[in-house]
Amino acid sequence: MIRTCILILLVCLMGCGKPSPEDRPIRPSKIMDFDTLFAQRCAGCHGTDGAGSGSIALHDPTLMNIISRETLHDLVKNGRPGTLMPSFQSNTGNPLTDAQIEILVDGMMQRWSEDAPPWATDRRYEVQQGKATRGKGAFVHMCGQCHGNDGLGASAGSVINPAFLELVSAQYLRTVILCGRPELGMPQLAGKIEDQTIDDIVAWLRTHKTFRSDQ
Ligand code: HEC
Ligand code: HEC
């Protein structure tokens, strides 16, 4: 009798509580659904559905048209060293597989690149060397009304705070000038500003960094 009880108990332990295959949690490396991947890996910093949050919006036809597929792929894979944008390949313990990175890149480009303004595709994405002295004048002209002519802030905040400049790359500053942070009230300037002028302004902003590095 006791033996039968133990047997039943064992069978129960082994079988009864077992979740059906559909209920079992999927291993992180097997998730192949764009929405789930984006929500789990990107939304925390770039907002639900890419609408922008701590960092820039990705649900933005201008950004999705000026950035190349290769650059976007590299960025997700390797992150941007020296900034808070993490590498998802070397994300120890829980990396994204190549196939998952492809799903993310394709998904963003397909879903969020439509209805781009006509000039979006002509813009240069990559930041290049600019001239800080020219950038200062351009800043007063194009940015001063909101950020103050000295960049210390007016209706919008300071953009020359060394702590802020340490955290962001030159490329990010260029992207923000092109694409704005519309969800925060920073307008998109792509189409209204020359590529060289953007690089000049970025160079001027970065003269306020306390520690010089090339990131
Ligand atoms: C119409 C007003 C306006 C203009 C013009 C403007 N900005 Fe902004 N900018 C904002 C607002 C609002 C924010 C949101 C944060 C804040 O309030 O400081 C912002 C944020 C930023 C940020 C921070 C982005 C981030 O992700 O943290 C940078 C850098 C910046 N602006 C640079 C510039 C530069 C450079 C120019 C000129 C080329 C410019 N802005 C023109 C209003 C403006
Ligand atoms: C921990 C916060 C964080 C997470 C998570 C994150 N990002 Fe980022 N991302 C950032 C920051 C911060 C930047 C700006 C880095 C810089 O200064 O260059 C950035 C920049 C970017 C840019 C480039 C914007 C530019 O400078 O042109 C893209 C595209 C991007 N992230 C995509 C993604 C995708 C896709 C994911 C999810 C796989 C992701 N990010 C997850 C913080 C994050």
The pLDDT of residue 119 is 73
For the chain, give the mean pLDDT: 89
pLDDT of residue 124: 94
CA of 201 to the centre of ligand 1 (A): 12
Q: Which ligand is nearest to the CA of 96?
A: 2
- C-beta of 203 in contact with ligand 2 (< 6 A): no
In angstroms, the CA 199 to CA 202 distance is: 5
Task: Determine the distance separating the centroid of ligand 1 and the alpha carbon of 159, expressed in angstroms.
Answer: 7
Residue 23 Rama label (left phi>0; alpha psi -120 to 50; beta): alpha
Protein residue with least CA distance to atom 18, ligand 1: 157
Q: Read off the tokens for 206.
A: 């970065």
42 lines ligand 2 (CB under 6 A): yes
User: Which residue's entry shows tokens 């002295």?
Assistant: 133
pLDDT in tens, 102-114: 999 999 999 999 8
In whole angstroms, give the CA distance from residue 58 to residue 112.
Answer: 8
Measured from the CB, is residue 160 less than 6 Å from ligand 2? no
* pLDDT higher than 80, residue 133: yes
Distance of CA 151 to the CA centre of its chain: 24
Residue whose CA is closest, atom 6 of ligand 1? Answer: 143
> Quick one: CA torsion of 72, 215, 62, 142, rounded to 10 degrees?
180
**Residue 72 CA neighbour count, 13 Å, CB half:** 19
What is the rounded (10 degree) CA torsion for 134, 138, 143, 148? 60
Residues 65-76: b if buried by 16+ CB within 10 A, e if exposed: bbbeeeebbebb
Ligand 1 atom closest to 205 (CA): 35
pLDDT digits over 172-206, tens only? 999 999 999 999 999 999 889 999 999 999 999 99
Taking the centre of ligand 2 as the mean of its atom positions, its distance from the CA of residue 60, in whole angstroms, is 14
Cα–Cα dist 100/33, whole Å: 8
